[in-house]
Amino acid sequence: MKKLILSLALVSIAATIAFGQKKVVRSAERNLRKGNIEEAYSDIKAAVNDEETGSESETYFIKGKIETQMFEADSSNNEETVAIGREAESSFMTTFEMEEMDSTSKVSEDLFKEVVPELPASMQGEGVYRLKNAALNKGAERYDADDMESAFEFFSLAADLDPKDTSMVFNAGYTANSIGNTEAAKKYFTQLLDIEEYNKLNAYYFLIQIASAEEKDPEEAYRWAKEARELYPEDKGLAEFEIQLLLQLDKMEEAMTSIEKALETDPDNPAIRLRYGYLKEKSGDMEGALKEYKRTVEADPEFFEGNYYAGAIYLDKARNIINEVNNLSDEEWEAKSDSMLAEADGLYEEALPYFTKASELQPENTDIMEILFRIHSQLKNEAKAEEYNQMLSEILGEDWLTR
C-alpha cells in the first residue's frame, strides 16, 4: 500500500510539473499578445529547456513568433538584429521539423500562413512570412542607405525563408555579388536556375561574370555561357560572351563556328564581326580581317574597336612596304622605290580616317594621337602634324618625342 501511495504521489508530482510547464507556455503566449515581449521570451525559453514542453512543436512556434516581433521592433538593423532574425528562422524550421515536414498539419498551416495587408491583424500570419516581410523591409532600408553588407544579410534571410520568391533570391545574390561574397552570390543565382518558369538570363550573366572576372575560371564561365545559350539562343550578349570565352580558351575552331552561326541571325553585330576579323587576322588572312573590321564600322560608325583595328591593318601594310623599300638593293631602289612609297602613302591615307574617328571617340588616348602625328608627318601634312605635336606636348611634355 505504501508503494502504491508513493507511486501515485510521484505521478501527481510529475503531472503537476508538466502542468506547470504548460502554464509557462500559455503565459508566454499571453504576454506576447499583451506586448510584454521580454516576459514572453523569458517564459518560452524556460519552456524550451523543459523535457516535455521542449519537445512540442507549438513551443518552438511561439518562440519563433516572439523572436519575430523582437526582430521587427529592433530598428538598429545591425548584426544583433540579423542574429535575432536567424534565431527566429531556426525556431520556425524546428517547428516544421517537429511536424515531420507535413505542411497540412494545423501547426504547419499556421506557420506558413500568408501576410495579407487587406486582412485584419487577427487573421494575419505570424510565422515564416511575417518574418520574411520584416527581413525584406530591413534589407530595403539598408540598401537605400547604401549599406550593402547589411542589406545582403537581411535579403538572404528573406530568401532562405522563401526560396520560391525569385525577387528575394535575386536580391540576395545581387547584394552578395556587390560586396564580393562570390560563394553566396553563386548560391543564390544558381538557386534561381532551378525555378522552371523564371527568366534566368540575368542570373546566367552574373554567374558568367563571377566565373570569368572574379574566379578567373574561363572554363566555368564558358560552361555557364553555353548552358545559357541553349535556353536563350537569340540573346546577342550571350553569343558575344561565348565567342569571347572560346577565344580566351584558344578554341579557335569552335569560336569560328560560333561566330559564323551568330552572324547568320545577327549580321550587323559589330562586336561579333570584330571577333570574326580577329580570327581571320590570326589565321593570316589580313584582307579578310580588314573586310570584317570595315564592316563593323559600316554597321556602327561610332564603334571604336572597328575603327582602330581597320586603321591598324592599313598601318601594318604600309609599314611592311616601307620595310621592303629599306631592304631594296641599289638597283631595285631606282626601279621600285617611288611606286612602293606611293603605295605606302596610299595606305596611310586609307588608315587616316579610321584613326581620326578613333581619336574623336577617345580624345584622351595619347597612343592614337601619336599614330596620327606620325601618319601626318609621313604624308607631309605639316600643319596637322604640328597640331598633334602641340596636343601631345601639353599632355606628355615638350620632350615626348625623345622619350
Q: How confident is the model at residue 402 (pLDDT cuts 50, 70, 90)?
A: confident
Per-residue pLDDT averaged across 222-232, rounded?
93
In the numeric block, the cell 528562422 is attached to: 89
**How many distinct helices (H) and strands (E) make up the chain?**
19, 0
Share of the chain above pLDDT 90, in %: 66
Q: What is the pTM of this model?
A: 0.73
**Residue located via cell numbers 544558381:** 190
Region 92-100: mean pLDDT is: 93
pLDDT of residue 282: 86
pLDDT in tens, 5-19: 444 444 444 444 444
Instruction: Say what angle helices 128-144 and 166-178 make with each other, to 10 degrees.
Output: 40
Report, as an integer, the average pLDDT of 193-208.
Answer: 95
Whole-number mean pLDDT of the chain?
A: 89
Read off the pLDDT of residues 322-370 as tens digits, 9 standing for 90 and up. 999 889 888 888 888 889 999 999 999 999 999 999 999 999 999 999 9
Q: In degrees to the nearest 10, what's the CA dihedral of 137, 80, 54, 38?
A: -90
Distances (CA, A) of 16 to 21, 27, 46, 50: 9, 16, 16, 14
Alpha helices in 74-117 (DSSP H): 79-98, 106-111
Look at domain 25-115+124-191 and name its CATH class. Answer: mainly alpha
Checking if the pLDDT of 250 tops 60, the result is yes
Cell of 348: 596611310
Res 30: pLDDT: 85
What is the model's pLDDT at position 104?
A: 92
Percent of the chain with pLDDT over 70: 94
| pLDDT tens readout for residues 292-332 | 999 999 999 999 999 999 999 999 999 999 999 889 888 88
Q: How confident is the model at residue 47 (pLDDT cuts 50, 70, 90)?
A: confident
**pLDDT reading at 117 higher than 80:** no
How far apart are the C-alpha atoms of 256 and 246, rounded to whole Å?
9
pLDDT of 80 > 60? The answer is yes
For residue 51, what pLDDT is reported?
79
Q: Give the pLDDT confidence score for residue 21 in this predicted structure.
A: 55
In one-letter notation, the amino acid at residue 403 is R
**Nearest of 158, 154, 152 to residue 183 by alpha carbon:** 152
Residue 14: what pLDDT? 42
* Locus of grid cell 588608315: 351
Distance between start and end Cα atoms, the chain = 113
3-state secondary structure of 145: coil
Region 214-230: mean pLDDT is 94
CA-to-CA distance for 84 and 353, rounded, in angstroms?
65
**Section 86-97 average pLDDT:** 95
Q: Provide the 8-state DSSP code for 333.
A: H
Would you state the cell numbers that stand for residue 236, as one nine-digit string?
546577342
